[in-house]
């Protein structure tokens, strides 16, 4: 496993393209590129990113979910086709950057009422979207469905039901699990061999988010669990800009996480 970072950690502090040099200067080798607005979905921007991120392994990409992802599951074909336009643009960015995974949120839960989900429909749509992504990237990139507390995947039971019908991969976000109020390890037990990406953040006893090493989360315990299930993907720091002041603090978090990872490997 390797400690990486998401460009989302720099949102509002520097632009997506300018985060590349900072990531390199902090000693990271792998990253997730988070595209934050429509102008960043264009091929021209993808070419700019390719130049800026040269020398880094762009393991995954991520877009701003609310822009189009929920409507990819709309029952109206015209609506789906319109949203697929933006999805395909992001797929081309994945191709340009040679990303291996597309971190995916999917539909949101907009109402407090209980949802009755059509898992066959969701599975069919995921298959279609993976086919589009695979066609554009020549089979080099796949969807990784992330647990998010305000989306369909806000509970491990959702993925447990989905994976019976769909081979889709998974991305684990520890802060989102905390915000869902559900034990993190119940997500891992369901994801298991589907897990291809992990987003790291820390938080205190009150659930307030912190950068790794500044909260109470037990990262060594998490890494022990990931090693035990055979996970060997990246561990992406994904924090909010308000949670730190200086970029050097992210390097400190990286070093702290590496120590936790080293300690975990000693148990195997």
φ, ψ of residue 103 to 5 degrees: the values are -70, 125
* Separation of alpha carbons 169 and 193, rounded Å: 8
- Mapping DSSP to helix (H, G, I), strand (E, B) and coil, where does residue 122 land? helix
CATH of 2-265 given 2.30.40.10, 3.40.718.10, 3.40.50.2300, 3.20.20.150: 3.20.20.150
The whole-chain average pLDDT of the chain stands at: 96
| pLDDT band, very low/low/confident/very high, at 168 (cuts 50, 70, 90) | very high
* Separation of alpha carbons 42 and 81, rounded Å: 18
Question: Do the Cβ atoms of 6 and 199 come closer than 8 Å?
Answer: yes
Of 244, 240, 242, 264, which Cα lies nearest the Cα of 252?
A: 244
Q: Could you state, in order of their start, the residue ranges of all structural domains in the chain? A: 2-265
Given a cut of 90, whether residue 48 has pLDDT beyond it is yes
* Separation of alpha carbons 223 and 233, rounded Å: 11
Percent of the chain with pLDDT over 90: 94
pLDDT tens digits for range 208-219: 999 999 999 999
| pLDDT band, very low/low/confident/very high, at 58 (cuts 50, 70, 90) | very high
Given a cut of 80, whether residue 111 has pLDDT beyond it is no
Residues ≥6 apart with Cβ < 8 Å to 245: none
pLDDT tens digits for range 149-159: 998 999 999 99
Least confident of 64-68, 76-80, 97-101: 64-68
| pLDDT band, very low/low/confident/very high, at 130 (cuts 50, 70, 90) | very high
Q: What pLDDT score does 182 carry? A: 96
């Amino acid at each position: 496993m390797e400690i990486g970072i998401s460009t989302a950690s720099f949102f509002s502090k520097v632009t997506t393209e300018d985060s590349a040099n900072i990531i390199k200067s902090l000693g990271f080798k792998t990253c997730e590129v988070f595209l934050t607005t429509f102008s960043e979905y264009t091929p021209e921007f993808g070419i700019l990113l390719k130049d800026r991120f040269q020398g880094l392994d762009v393991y995954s990409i991520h877009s701003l979910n609310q822009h189009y992802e929920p409507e990819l599951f709309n029952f109206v074909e015209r609506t789906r086709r319109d949203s697929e336009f933006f999805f395909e643009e992001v797929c081309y960015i994945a191709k340009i950057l040679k990303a291996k995974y597309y971190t995916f949120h999917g539909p949101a839960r907009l109402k407090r009422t209980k949802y009755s989900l059509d898992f066959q429909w969701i599975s069919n749509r995921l298959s279609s979207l993976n086919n589009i992504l695979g066609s554009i990237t020549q089979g080099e990139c796949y969807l990784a469905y992330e647990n998010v507390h305000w989306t369909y995947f806000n509970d491990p039971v959702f993925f447990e039901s989905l994976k019976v019908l769909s081979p889709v991969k998974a991305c684990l976000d520890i802060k989102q699990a905390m915000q869902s109020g559900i034990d993190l390890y119940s997500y891992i037990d369901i994801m298991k061999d589907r897990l291809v990406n992990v987003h790291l953040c820390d938080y205190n006893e009150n659930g307030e988010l912190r950068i790794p090493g500044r909260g109470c989360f037990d990262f060594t315990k998490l890494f022990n669990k990931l090693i035990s299930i055979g996970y060997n993907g990246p561990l992406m720091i994904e924090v909010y800009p308000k949670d730190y002041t200086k970029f050097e603090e992210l390097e400190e978090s990286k070093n702290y996480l590496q120590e936790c990872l080293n300690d975990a490997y000693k148990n195997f």
